[in-house]
Amino acid sequence: MLPDKSMAGACLAIMASLSQADAQYSPQVTRCMNEPPQFSPDVMINTCNTLVQSGQWSGKDAAWLYNNLGKGYFLKQDYNTALTNYDHAIQLDPNDAYAYCGRGITKNKVSAGSGDADIAQARQLNSSLCID
């Protein structure tokens, strides 16, 4: 299980995956990824939802949006909604190490040790993620 302080580092790693979101950091993309943190989780969530609803994102790019939604809900401590979004990201991209990492960390917040398999999967896909 990761200590709480590792969540910040894990979130930074999640946001570093922007190569998937080939938009050149439009204002909406900047608010959705919220890196460096400058917007509230609500702004982040609302912006990511707007991008999802635009229908212009699909596959791995849509997975990136859902991953950011998961992070936004995690930051609001709405862990069930965060998990739903991480699940959706993984459905869209089963090899999304960032989504497995976020889901594992979130599961561990809900129940100690319950996210360990997801964290192991994230590390298998990307050895630099979800490290203590």
Amino acid 30: pLDDT: 87
Query: Which candidate, 99, 98, 129, 103, places its Cα nearest to that of 116?
Result: 103
Q: What is the pLDDT of residue 10?
A: 47
Which residue type does 5 have?
K
Query: Looking at residue 25, what is its pLDDT?
Result: 59
Q: Is the dihedral of CA 61, 97, 77, 132 positive or negative?
A: negative
Q: Can you give the pLDDT at residue 132?
A: 66
Q: What is the fold, at CATH topology level, of the domain defined by 5-125?
A: 1.25.40
Residue 100 vs residues 1, 50, 51, 118: alpha-carbon distances, Å: 14, 23, 22, 5
Domain segments of the chain as ranges: 5-125
The series of mean pLDDT values per 10 residues for the chain, 132 residues long, is 43 43 67 87 94 91 94 96 98 96 96 94 94 75
pLDDT computed for residue 15 by the predictor = 43
* pLDDT for 35: 82
